[in-house]
Amino acid sequence: MNSKEIDIACTLAKIVSFSKDKECVTQSEISKLLDISQQSVSRKLNELEEMKLISKSETKNGASISLTNEGEALLLQCLEMIKEAIETKRELRFKGKVVSGLGEGKIFLSIKYYEEEISRRMGFVPYPGTLNLNLYDKRSIENRIILDSSRGILIPEHKFEDRVLGAVKMFPATVNGIEAAVIIPLRTVHPKSVIELISPFSIREKLKLKDGDEVEVIVMA
């Protein structure tokens, strides 16, 4: 995030937090909250609405303000950056054997929303396919459970008119030294003994893997 995005996120957080439990807020109240003129408040709210970070409806007593999906995504990105700065990352190691999936990873990564969010949050465009690993030792499965309770890097749920794309969390990782990320849909059919990995390229081809081959995954969580 650049300095302008951080400034916008801070302003957004203040306004949404202040107005969350109120039916409506006035420009005078927001003016005092942000310590700026009412004219500046009007300009700021219009800017946030144009950026699709808030939805705003005028009432006779003020304005009703709510956070949009885009606004939530910006705040979560800011939160992750803050968390990154103050938290100590721990290294979790996994041993697993390569198994074939059902092709769901390819479908998942072909959806533009997920592709763009992964690219923005992980810093790479994902190869359209995942590598599935079957964890077989006690330590690896224990570490998999730790991932469930760790926040990770969150891609929020996204709603369309005809369907909902579920939330996903990711963890930076390496597979036999190759750049990757563990990806965990918040709603998944996979058992705890299976993890999915994404990467800028086909991990199978890069490492010349076949089903049954053993690999080591190091995850920062």
d(CA 174, CA 169): 16
Query: Looking at the whole model, is its pTM more than 0.75?
Result: no
Of 164, 153, 154, 107, nearest to 130 (Cα)?
Answer: 107
| CATH 2.40.30.30 domain extents, the chain | 89-220
What CATH class has 89-220?
mainly beta
pLDDT in tens, the chain (221 residues): 778 888 899 999 999 899 888 888 999 999 999 999 999 999 999 999 999 999 999 888 888 999 998 999 899 888 878 877 766 678 999 999 999 987 788 888 999 999 999 999 999 999 999 999 999 999 999 999 999 888 899 999 998 878 889 999 999 999 999 999 999 988 776 788 999 999 999 999 999 999 999 999 999 98
d(CA 39, CA 28): 10
pLDDT at 130: 94
What CATH class has 3-72?
mainly alpha
d(CA 144, CA 86): 23
pLDDT at 137: 92
| CATH 1.10.10.10 domain extents, the chain | 3-72
pLDDT at 132: 94
